Amino acid sequence: MLINPDLAAFMTSPVMIILGTRDDALVPEIARAVGAIVRPEQGCVDLIASEWQWPKTVANIRANGRLSVTFARPSDYVSYQVKGHAAVTPASAEHVALAAQYMDRMAAALADLGLEKRITAPWLVDRDPVTLRLAVQEVFVQTPGAKAGQLIERDQ
Amino acid sequence: MTIQLQDLAACFEGVIPSIIATAAPDGMPNISYLSHVVLVDDERVALSNQFFSKTAANVRANPVAAVLIVTPRDGAQYQLDVTFDQSLDSGDLFDDMAVHLRATSTQMGMGGIMRLRGVDIYRVRAVRAVPSPATAVAEPSPAASLPLAAVAAATRRISEAVEVSSIVDAVLDGLHKFSHAMLLLKDPTCQRLVTIGSRGYGRSGIGSEVPVGEGVIGTAASERRPVRVSDMSRLRRFGSAVQASSSDENRTRTIALPGIPDAMSQVALPMVVHGVLRGVLFLESSKRLAFTKEDEAGLAIVAAHAAAALALAESEAGEGQPVMQPAQNNLVTRGQPFRVVHYAYDDSVFIDNEYLIKGVPGRLLTHLLRIHLREGRTEFTNREIRLSDELRLPDIKDNLETRLLLLRRRLEEKAAPVQLLRIGRGRVRLELTAPAILEEAAN
pLDDT, tens digit, 9 for 90 and up, residues B40-85: 888 999 987 665 578 888 999 999 999 999 988 889 999 999 999 9
Q: Backbone phi, then psi, for A53, in 5-degree steps?
A: -80, -35
CB pairs under 8 A between A and B: 125
Q: Tell me whether residue A151 is in a domain.
A: no
Query: Angle at CA B318, nearest 5°, toward B312 and B319?
Result: 145
**3-state class (DSSP) for residue A26:** coil
Q: Tell me whether residue A9 is in a domain.
A: yes
Q: State the amino acid at position A1 in one-letter form.
A: M
The CATH number for A101's domain is 2.30.110.10
Per-residue H/E/C for A30-69: EEEECCEEEEHHHCEEEEEEECCCCHHHHHHHHHHCEEEE
Select the residue of B32, B75, B114 nearest A123 (Cβ to Cβ).
B75
Give A128 or B313, the one with higher predicted confidence. A128
Select the residue of A21, A114, A125 nearest B29 (Cβ to Cβ).
A21
- Contacts of residue B68, Cβ cutoff 8 Å, sequence gap at least 6: A18, A30, B18, B19, B20, B21, B77, B78, B79, B80, B130
Four-way CATH pick for B338-441: 3.60.10.10, 3.40.640.10, 1.10.10.10, 3.40.50.720:
1.10.10.10
Indicate which of B30, B82, B117, B289 best probes the interface with A, i.e. most A CBs within 10 Å of its own CB.
B30
Q: Which residues of B touch A148 (CB under 8 A)?
A: 51-53
Q: Which residues of B touch A139 (CB under 8 A)?
A: none
Flag whether pLDDT at A147 surpasses 70.
Answer: no
Strand locations in B130-273, DSSP E? 180-187, 192-199, 209-211, 227-229, 265-273
Q: How far apart are CA B422 and CA B402, in angstroms?
A: 12
Each of the 443 residues of chain B gets a pLDDT tens digit; together they read 578 888 888 787 777 889 999 999 999 999 998 877 888 888 999 987 665 578 888 999 999 999 999 988 889 999 999 999 988 888 888 888 777 777 665 544 444 445 677 788 999 999 999 998 865 444 445 555 688 888 999 999 999 998 899 999 999 999 988 999 999 999 888 889 999 999 999 888 899 999 998 888 998 999 899 998 877 765 443 333 233 445 577 777 778 888 887 788 899 999 999 999 999 999 999 887 788 888 999 999 999 999 999 999 888 766 666 655 555 577 777 889 999 999 988 899 999 999 999 888 999 999 999 999 999 899 999 888 888 877 777 655 658 888 899 999 999 989 999 999 988 888 899 999 999 999 998 76
Q: How many CB atoms lie within 10 A of CB B236?
A: 11
Q: Tell me whether residue A104 is in a domain.
A: yes
Closest CA to B200 of B305, B286, B295, B303: B286
Q: Do the bridges between strand A79-90 and strand A129-141 make them parallel or antiparallel, or are there none, so unpaired?
A: antiparallel
- Contacts of residue B155, Cβ cutoff 8 Å, sequence gap at least 6: B174, B301, B302, B305
Q: How far apart are CA A24 and CA B27, in angstroms?
A: 9
Total structural domains within chain A: 1
Q: Please name the residue of chain A whose CA is at the shortest distance from the CA of residue B49.
A: A144
pLDDT of residue B323: 57
Q: Do the bridges between strand A44-50 and strand A36-39 make them parallel or antiparallel, or are there none, so unpaired?
A: antiparallel
Q: Backbone phi, then psi, for A155, in 5-degree steps?
A: -65, 130
Residue ranges of chain B assigned to CATH 2.30.110.10: 5-129
Q: Tell me whether residue A154 is in a domain.
A: no
The answer, for B370 touching chain A at a CB cutoff of 8 Å, is no
**For chain A, how are helix, strand and coil distributed in percent, rounded to 5?**
30, 40, 30
Q: Do the bridges between strand B338-343 and strand B436-441 make them parallel or antiparallel, or are there none, so unpaired?
A: parallel
How far is CA B100 from each of CA A83, A85, B105, B110, B356, rounded to the nearest angstrom?
A: 33, 39, 8, 13, 35
Closest CA to A153 of A135, A140, A144, A134: A140
pLDDT of residue B95: 83
Could A114 and B62 be called an inter-chain contact, meaning their C-beta atoms sit closer than 8 Å? no
Domain that holds residue A69: 5-143
pLDDT of residue B157: 94
Indicate which of A21, A26, A85, A143 best probes the interface with B, i.e. most B CBs within 10 Å of its own CB.
A26
Tens of pLDDT, residue by residue over B82-112, are 999 988 888 888 888 777 777 665 544 444 4
**For chain B, how are helix, strand and coil distributed in percent, rounded to 5?**
30, 30, 40
Q: Which residues of A touch B288 (CB under 8 A)?
A: 114
Which residues, in sequence order, are bridge partners of residue B118? B49
As a CATH number, domain B148-315 is 3.30.450.40
Contact B45, B34 (CB under 8 A): no
Could A122 and B33 be called an inter-chain contact, meaning their C-beta atoms sit closer than 8 Å? no
Q: Tell me whether residue A156 is in a domain.
A: no
pLDDT of residue A135: 96
The answer, for B73 touching chain A at a CB cutoff of 8 Å, is yes
Residue ranges of chain B assigned to CATH 3.30.450.40: 148-315
Q: How far apart are CA B385 and CA B318, in angstroms?
A: 12
Q: State the amino acid at position A22 in one-letter form.
A: R
Q: State the amino acid at position B333 in one-letter form.
A: T
Tens of pLDDT, residue by residue over A57-106, are 999 999 999 999 999 998 888 889 999 999 999 999 999 999 999 999 99
Tens of pLDDT, residue by residue over B268-301, are 999 999 999 999 999 999 887 788 888 999 999 9
CA A29 to chain B, closest CA, distance in angstroms equals: 6
Q: Tell me whether residue A149 is in a domain.
A: no
pLDDT of residue B170: 95
As a CATH number, domain B5-129 is 2.30.110.10
Residues 107-136 of B with CB under 8 A from A: 110, 113-114, 130-135
pLDDT of residue B240: 32
Could A81 and B32 be called an inter-chain contact, meaning their C-beta atoms sit closer than 8 Å? yes
Could B50 and A144 be called an inter-chain contact, meaning their C-beta atoms sit closer than 8 Å? yes
Contact B390, B442 (CB under 8 A): no
Q: Please name the residue of chain A whose CA is at the shortest distance from the CA of residue B115.
A: A145
Q: How far apart are CA B142 and CA B135, in angstroms?
A: 17
